[in-house]
Structures are given as structure tokens and as C-alpha cells.
């Protein structure tokens, strides 16, 4: 089974792509992102419309290249990201879009993949239609060794700007900060760490964290680090550990260290905050100053570990931890506890239509409105892309519905810069057996699933609505 493209003149296509897996879509030779059609086998995509929408609505650039690297077909994201209409760029060498300084490197990468190398990812600056350049992360591979190249790309310029902002925040911290990967290799140090240890950051990045530990305890430190990475957790300062650091000149000095796991898509990094205790140990008068520095560093680390970087609200991990705490309090005190899930209606369509910057602005404004409308005792968090959760201590069914309606109406009647935005909300209220004394994670998961079920019901009823599980039973 295959897929054939049809030219406007009904002539046979000049290219035919066949992928002999369970689902075998073929792209047309003409059209560059339009007019896709295919047959579907059982268990695959149900209609040609589904596949066409996937290809045409993807925010990532998708294209198929001839064996010589020329663009055969591209989706509309080529125009959205770089400004090049797919039909105009057909037949152009992909490497021709690269910055002159990077063109040879891109040609080499394409040749390596074309020769049978495993899929390859690389970043290249590519020219836009108006003459600017954007950083794109390309992934290229050869499907089934047939000579064509499949390529996809996404704009990483925003990600790079966010990374720079984060590094600037780390560099401005008043205590030494060192970021390490799971193997203990230093990835980032700030200015205060340079001053404290006497190294330039270029001398530390890529080296083992044991470089900053006295030689006679490095083996022990290496073992402790390995054990910690098995189950990383936020470890605050002030635990009275007898820790030592070593400067570039070999001088050992007492330190306090706080550790914060930083969850990344493919690995867990660890951010270490280090305070030099030399002066504290020498002069009693400095004790208060250092204690204040420790407190501020712990608060900063706690915020970094528990806060969503875009909205400033609690993140999912911090929210789930607080949910466990509040469930135990509700069980022991007998007071009610409710949970809301809130989802922005049609957010993906909004993002695709108006762009990610406009979408981020909506997320920030929704978070701001919910933060203003929530009570001081409530816990509001961003737990997913466009999904928020609210934990409501001392709140029964009626109170949960009332507060959810307050959120819904506040957002519905807010002034939005582009087009109106609404939310749907689903709520549930915890219930315990009279003789129940303990809870486990299964009940927490059950409560989350119930709130999600109520949210789904609100969406099924037409969105911009509130549902509670009591309405469903």
C-alpha cells in the first residue's frame, strides 16, 4: 500500500515515497505541504485528513529532501518560522538556508546522514525571508535507506534566550553556585564561585566537582555523590555537616552546601549553593550575617525548585508534595479538602494562530487573575502546558464550586489583547472512611483522577463551564 501525490494537471507523480511499516503515508511530488492523500490500514491513522492536518499544522518545520539535499516538500511551518513559502523554496538546497559560516558544516551533516549514519541532530543559523537569521535545531534521518532524507526543525532562539536569562540570574546570586550533571561534571559556575575558589569558569566547566574538594577526601566525596544521584532530593544548608572546599592555591576552607535537583527532559542536574564559613568560624560577630546568607540562599533554592519559571506559580512537583501534606491534615482534623483542575479552552488553537509569545502572555495573565482571586489559604499551581490546579483547604463541595465559578467568570470578563479567553474547571472533594487513620499515594492519585474526570465533563458540556464529581455520580 502506498500514497500517491496528484499534480494539478493529473499527470503521474514524478516521485513516490513508500514506507513499508504498518502505516505507509507517501508524500506527493508536487504541492509542498498541500494535497496530501493516503490510504490507512487498520490501527493506523483513520483518514487522510488527519495526516494532512498533522503535517500542515505542525509548529515544527517538516520537510523531505532529495538525496542531494534539495528540498522536495515542506510544510507551512517553513513560512511561519523562516518566512519562505513552501512552493517557492522547493528545489532549493537546504544548506543554502544556512549562515555562510555554517553552510559547509550543514552540508557535511546532511552528507553523513545520507551515507547511512544514524539520525543526527544539530543547531544551525538559518536565513529568514527578510534577511535575518534564526537558530534552528535540525533532526535529519534516512527512512528505510531509500535515499531520501526526512528533516524537522524547531526554533530554539526563545529557548536560548531563556537559558541566558537563567544563567544571568545564577551569576547574580550572592553565594557561589555550581551546576553539575549526573556524572559530577561541572556545567556552570557563577561569578562568586570564581572568586571563592580562585578559578576562571573556563577552567572549571567540564571538570569533575571533586576539583573543588580537598584531595584526601575526594574518593569519599565521589561515593557520596554517586549515592545521592540514586535518589536526589533538595538538601538545605545548615545541617552542621563538616564540609571542606579547596581553592585553586590548595587552601582548604570550611563550607556549607545546599543541593537542589534540577529536572531536565533527559537527565537530572544538581545545583549546589556553597557558602564559605571561614569568616564565620573566625569571628563571632559574623555569625548573624552568615546565618542570614544561609537563610536567603535556602529561600532562593526553594523558590527555584518549587516555582514555575513562566508564571511564578508553584510547579507540579511542589503542588503534589503539598497535596500529600494537606490530605494528611484533612484526615487527622476532619476538615474538608477540595481540589480543582483548570484548563484554558482551545489553547493549542490560540498558540498556533497567534504564536507562542502570545500564548505565553495568556498563561501569565490567567495565572495572575487566578492568583488575585484565590484565597490566602489556597495553593495555586501550573501543573501542565495550559493546565492549572488549585488546592482548597477547609473547603467543601459548595465552596469548591463557588471558587471555580469565581475563576471562570474572572477570566471570561477580563480584558484580553487579542481575543477572548475562557477556562473549564473540574473539582472534587476528599472523602475519608470514619475509621481511616492513614493514607497512601493511591488515594492522592485517585483524587487527581477524579478532578481530571470532572474537568473532562466540563469540556464535554461545551467548555467555559464548571463541573464537580458530585454532579457526575
Check if the beta carbon of residue 257 is closer than 8 Å to that of residue 238.
no
- Cα torsion through 410, 413, 417, 420, rounded to 10: 100
DSSP-derived letter for residue 248 is T
pTM, rounded to two decimals:
0.41
Average the pLDDT over 265-293 and give the result: 77
Percent of the chain with pLDDT over 70: 85
Grid cell at residue 9 = 494537471
Q: Is the pLDDT of residue 21 over 80?
A: no
The side-by-side arrangement of strands in the sheet containing 268-276 is: 186-189, 177-180, 268-276, 252-263, 243-246
d(C-alpha 174, C-alpha 73), whole Å: 52
Instruction: Report the pLDDT value the prediction gives residue 260, as an integer from 0 to 100.
Output: 92
Check if the beta carbon of residue 426 is closer than 8 Å to that of residue 467.
yes
Q: Is the pLDDT of residue 324 over 60?
A: yes
Average the pLDDT over 225-253 and give the result: 88
Average the pLDDT over 316-322 and give the result: 91
Q: Is the pLDDT of residue 373 over 50?
A: yes
User: Which range (9-23, 195-209, 459-473) has the least confidence?
Assistant: 9-23
Instruction: Report the pLDDT value the prediction gives residue 441, as an integer from 0 to 100.
Output: 78
Q: Is the pLDDT of residue 183 over 80?
A: yes
Confidence of residue 14 (pLDDT cuts 50, 70, 90): very low
Instruction: Report the pLDDT value the prediction gives residue 264, as an integer from 0 to 100.
Output: 73
Instruction: Report the pLDDT value the prediction gives residue 43, as an integer from 0 to 100.
Output: 47
Catalytic residue among 194, 256, 386, 450: 386
User: Radius of gyration (Cα) for the chain, nearest Å?
Assistant: 28
Instruction: Report the pLDDT value the prediction gives residue 285, as an integer from 0 to 100.
Output: 55
Q: For the segment 188-204, what is each residue's pLDDT rounded down to a tens digit? A: 999 999 999 999 999 99
Domains and CATH numbers, the chain: 58-155 (3.30.450.20), 160-306 (3.30.450.20), 316-472 (3.30.70.270)
Which one of 138-142, 145-149, 344-348 scores highest in mean pLDDT?
344-348
Instruction: Report the pLDDT value the prediction gives residue 18, as an integer from 0 to 100.
Output: 39
CA-wise closest residue to 308 among 374, 235, 380, 381: 381
Instruction: Report the pLDDT value the prediction gives residue 287, as an integer from 0 to 100.
Output: 65
d(C-alpha 216, C-alpha 233), whole Å: 26
Average the pLDDT over 301-317 and give the result: 84
Average the pLDDT over 364-381 and give the result: 94
d(C-alpha 256, C-alpha 375), whole Å: 37
Confidence of residue 20 (pLDDT cuts 50, 70, 90): very low
Phi, psi of 338 (to 5 degrees): -120, 160
User: Which range (212-221, 227-236, 282-291, 454-463) has the least confidence?
Assistant: 282-291
Instruction: Report the pLDDT value the prediction gives residue 103, as an integer from 0 to 100.
Output: 94
Instruction: Report the pLDDT value the prediction gives residue 195, as an integer from 0 to 100.
Output: 94
Confidence of residue 145 (pLDDT cuts 50, 70, 90): low
Count of residues in the chain: 473
Q: Is the pLDDT of residue 32 over 60?
A: no
Q: Is the pLDDT of residue 1 over 60?
A: no
Q: Where are the alpha helices (DSSP H) in 126-217?
A: 157-172, 191-197, 201-204
Instruction: Report the pLDDT value the prediction gives residue 438, as an integer from 0 to 100.
Output: 80
Percent of the chain with pLDDT over 90: 57
Tell me the three state secondary structure of residue 150.
strand
Q: Is the pLDDT of residue 345 over 90?
A: yes
Grid cell at residue 141 = 534521518
Instruction: Report the pLDDT value the prediction gives residue 389, as an integer from 0 to 100.
Output: 96
Phi, psi of 255 (to 5 degrees): -140, 160
Residue 73, burial from CB neighbour count under 10 angstroms (0-12, 13-18, 19+): buried
Residue 404, burial from CB neighbour count under 10 angstroms (0-12, 13-18, 19+): buried
User: Which range (4-8, 112-116, 363-367) has the least confidence?
Assistant: 4-8
Average the pLDDT over 411-438 and give the result: 90
Confidence of residue 300 (pLDDT cuts 50, 70, 90): confident
d(C-alpha 473, C-alpha 455), whole Å: 14
User: Which range (11-25, 210-224, 241-255, 426-440) has the least confidence?
Assistant: 11-25
Average the pLDDT over 206-219 and give the result: 95
CA-wise closest residue to 25 among 49, 9, 8: 49
DSSP-derived letter for residue 240 is -
Q: Is the pLDDT of residue 268 over 50?
A: yes
Q: Is the pLDDT of residue 42 over 50?
A: no
Confidence of residue 396 (pLDDT cuts 50, 70, 90): very high
215 is catalytic: no
Nearest-5° Cα angle at 365, 363 to 371: 100
Give the chain's mean pLDDT. 84
Tell me the three state secondary structure of residue 225.
helix
Instruction: Report the pLDDT value the prediction gives residue 293, as an integer from 0 to 100.
Output: 77
Instruction: Report the pLDDT value the prediction gives residue 286, as an integer from 0 to 100.
Output: 58
CA-wise closest residue to 126 among 152, 149, 96: 96
Grid cell at residue 18 = 513508500
Number of H helices, E strands in the chain: 16, 15
The C-alpha cell 499551581 sits at 381
Higher-scoring residue by pLDDT: 466, 120: 466
Amino acid at each position: 500500500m502506498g500514497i500517491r501525490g496528484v499534480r494539478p494537471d493529473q499527470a503521474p507523480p514524478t516521485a513516490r515515497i513508500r514506507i513499508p511499516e504498518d502505516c505507509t503515508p507517501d508524500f506527493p511530488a508536487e504541492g509542498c505541504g498541500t494535497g496530501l492523500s493516503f490510504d490507512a490500514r487498520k490501527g493506523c491513522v483513520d483518514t487522510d485528513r488527519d495526516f494532512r492536518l498533522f503535517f500542515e499544522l505542525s509548529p515544527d518545520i517538516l520537510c523531505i529532501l532529495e538525496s542531494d539535499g534539495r528540498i522536495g516538500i515542506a510544510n507551512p511551518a517553513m513560512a511561519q518560522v523562516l518566512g519562505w513559502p513552501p512552493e517557492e523554496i522547493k528545489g532549493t538546497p537546504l544548506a543554502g538556508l544556512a549562515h555562510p559560516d555554517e553552510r559547509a558544516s550543514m552540508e557535511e551533516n546532511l552528507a553523513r546522514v545520507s551515507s547511512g549514519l544514524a539520525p543526527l541532530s544539530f543547531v544551525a543559523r538559518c536565513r529568514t525571508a527578510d534577511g535575518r537569521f534564526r537558530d534552528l535545531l535540525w533532526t535529519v534521518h534516512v527512512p528505510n535507506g531509500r535515499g531520501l532524507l526526512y528533516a524537522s526543525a524547531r526554533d530554539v532562539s526563545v529557548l536560548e534566550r531563556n537559558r541566558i536569562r537563567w544563567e544571568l540570574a545564577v551569576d547574580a546570586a550572592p553565594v557561589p553556585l555550581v551546576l553539575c550533571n549526573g556524572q559530577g561534571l561541572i556545567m556552570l559556575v557563577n561569578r562568586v564561585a570564581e572568586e571563592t575558589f580562585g578559578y576562571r569558569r573556563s577552567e572549571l566547566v567540564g571538570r569533575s566537582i571533586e576539583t573543588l574538594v580537598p584531595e584526601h577526601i575526594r574518593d569519599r566525596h565521589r561515593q557520596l555523590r554517586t549515592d545521592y544521584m540514586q535518589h536526589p532530593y533538595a538538601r538545605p544548608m545548615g545541617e552542621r555537616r563538616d564540609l571542606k572546599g579547596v581553592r585553586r592555591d590548595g587552601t582548604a576552607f570550611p563550607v556549607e552546601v545546599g543541593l537542589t535537583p534540577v529536572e531536565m527532559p533527559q537527565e537530572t542536574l544538581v545545583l549546589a549553593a556553597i557558602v564559605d564559613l571561614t569568616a564565620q568560624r573566625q569571628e563571632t560577630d559574623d555569625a548573624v550575617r552568615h546565618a542570614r546568607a544561609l537563610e536567603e540562599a535556602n529561600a532562593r533554592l526553594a523558590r527555584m525548585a518549587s516555582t514555575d519559571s513562566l508564571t511564578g506559580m508553584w510547579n507540579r512537583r511542589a503542588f503534589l508534595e503539598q497535596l500529600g501534606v494537606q490530605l494528611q491534615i484533612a484526615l487527622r482534623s476532619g476538615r474538608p479538602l477540595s481540589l480543582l483542575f483548570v484548563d484554558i479552552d482551545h489553547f493549542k488553537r490560540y498558540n498556533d494562530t497567534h504564536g507562542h509569545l502570545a500564548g505565553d502572555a495568556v498563561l501569565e495573565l490567567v495565572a495572575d487573575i487566578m492568583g488575585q482571586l484565590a484565597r490566602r489559604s489556597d495553593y495555586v499551581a501550573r501543573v501542565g502546558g495550559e493546565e492549572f490546579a488549585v488546592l482548597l483547604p477547609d473547603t467543601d463541595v459548595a465552596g469548591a464550586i463557588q471558587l471555580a465559578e469565581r475563576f471562570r467568570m474572572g477570566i471570561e470578563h477580563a480584558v484580553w489583547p487579542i481575543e477572548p479567553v475562557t477556562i473549564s474547571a473540574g473539582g472534587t472533594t476528599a472523602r475519608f472512611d470514619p475509621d481511616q487513620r492513614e493514607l497512601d499515594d493511591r488515594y492522592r492519585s485517585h483524587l487527581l483522577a477524579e478532578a481530571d474526570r470532572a474537568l473532562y465533563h466540563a469540556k464535554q458540556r461545551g467548555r467555559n463551564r464548571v463541573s464537580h464529581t458530585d454532579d457526575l455520580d
